[in-house]
Amino acid sequence: MSHAISDELLKRFDIPGPRYTSYPTADRFVEAFTESDYIQALEQRRAGSLALPLSLYVHIPFCESVCYYCACNKVITKHHERAAEYLRYLSREVELQVQHFGKGHAVSQLHLGGGTPTFLSDAELEDLLTMIRRNFTLVPGGEYSIEVDPRTVTDQRLQTLARLGFNRLSFGVQDFDPAVQKAVHRVQPAEQVFALVETARKIGFESVNVDLIYGLPLQTPESFARTLAQVNQLRPDRIALYAYAHLPARFKPQRRIVAAELPSAGDKLSMLSASLDAMSDAGYVYVGMDHFALPTDALAVAKRQGRLHRNFQGYSTQPDCDLIALGVSAIGRIGATYSQNAKTIEEYYDALDQGRLPIVRGLALTRDDLLRRSVIMSLMCQGQLQFESINLGHLIDCKSYFARELEVLAGYAEHGLVRIDDSGVEVTPSGWYLVRAIAMVFDKNLQVDQDRARFSKII
């Protein structure tokens, strides 16, 4: 038993469910939401909220080789010249965006994801940041992060990233065990990662994150314990610990994984339980939804102070703000709308060649959507639901509106996951580890659609 939460509770609530980087979730987007709807949202923003900062997400889809566990939107190629063409189209997309809401808007959060953003050369990264700064204003004190494949960077490259203005790095590690790395086609010696993290600290990056995955082929509780011990030595500022979801019917690269080599459900649960113990013993704060941070990290501080937020980029210290999404398959949020770009390079390029933004689907949120989004994000970020705050913000009677949901939560309270009183709902320390299941209670779409097979399991 983990001293954080019992194995029995972890097993009981090991159910499929969304990660809630948005509500409603992206699987609810519709093609009836078009470019014109998105443009209308941009123009409404221009008219009413010029002073509020933006968040930017840029998707770089290219990877030199495929990682078999990957479920990201990516293009596997060794032809680096393809990046130059892609950057030209990104520039066109930005030009179309700013036509509708103007240049120079403040940006407090920028994230380059993929794929492998460090597939780009130093010169290409510089061109990209120059283009962004030509159209937006990156404000001091913002979060400027990039996902890094350790196999694609050197000490000199980290210096370049710092010079370009990035202050946060996220290293994709997954597992340090050589046999596991070979089984998922991602071989990277631990020594290489340790050296890069040491360099990043010397350079002065504000935060270094390491991604880990449990449930990969050939992993055992013993082998993953060794990886956890190495991570404890590495001591990154943040750790993201994800459960591997084996969905080969949906994600073609996963068909190369030998299913017989995957750990059993019991071993997977043991890995999670041991991880929770190890990170707690090492002094990490559980931020929520698979994320841990050292007490001094900005994310842990934001959680203590009730300033934590969540968007398509995950947890953030930045105030809740609109998100401009750039690149193939990227998902954005403007006001009460969500939108997603074309999922293939060909469709993305074709739309821009025609002078159109590459929006292919999205959603305009209803009053009920906005209400439930507030509740779910409050639970996911602050670990509480205050009835009075929701009543005043949405002009409802929370107890009556959510009578069915509160009845369900009463069962969760019996398991010690939440506390409920006349003022609201509070997530307990144990409940934080299952906050995803608690938030699901308020998901109206899951209430009417019990087919959750599209989602990965919580554990």
Could you list the residues known to form a binding site for S-adenosyl-L-methionine, using ranges.
57, 69-71, 114-116, 147, 174, 186, 211, 245, 331
| Residues comprising the chain, all counted | 459
Name residue 199's amino acid.
T
Max CA-CA distance within the chain?
A: 61
Distance, CA of 310 to CA of 333 (rounded, Å): 12
Place of tokens 């699987």: 27
Tell me 431's DSSP state. G
**What is the three-class DSSP state of 55?**
strand
Sign (positive or negative) of CA dihedral 385, 391, 395, 400: positive
Contact 271, 362 (CB under 8 A): no
Q: Where are the alpha helices (DSSP H) in 362-459?
A: 367-382, 387-394, 398-401, 403-414, 435-440, 444-448
Distance, CA of 438 to CA of 374 (rounded, Å): 14
Cβ neighbors of 118 (< 8 A, separation 6 or more) are: 146, 147, 148, 149, 152, 153, 157
Region of residue 457 (phi > 0: left; psi between -120 and 50: alpha; otherwise: beta): beta
Distance, CA of 284 to CA of 60 (rounded, Å): 31
Binding-site positions for [4Fe-4S] cluster read 63, 67, 70
Place of tokens 């009835």: 387
Distance of CA 116 to the CA centre of its chain: 15
Dihedral over alpha carbons 201, 114, 80, 352 (to 10 degrees): -130
Distance of CA 320 to the CA centre of its chain: 15
CA distances from 400 to 306, 367, 385, 396, 425 (A): 26, 16, 14, 8, 14
Contact 52, 321 (CB under 8 A): yes
Task: Name the nearest CA neighbour of 319 among 381, 264, 366, 270.
Answer: 381
Binding-site positions read 57, 63, 67, 69-71, 114-116, 147, 174, 186, 211, 245, 331
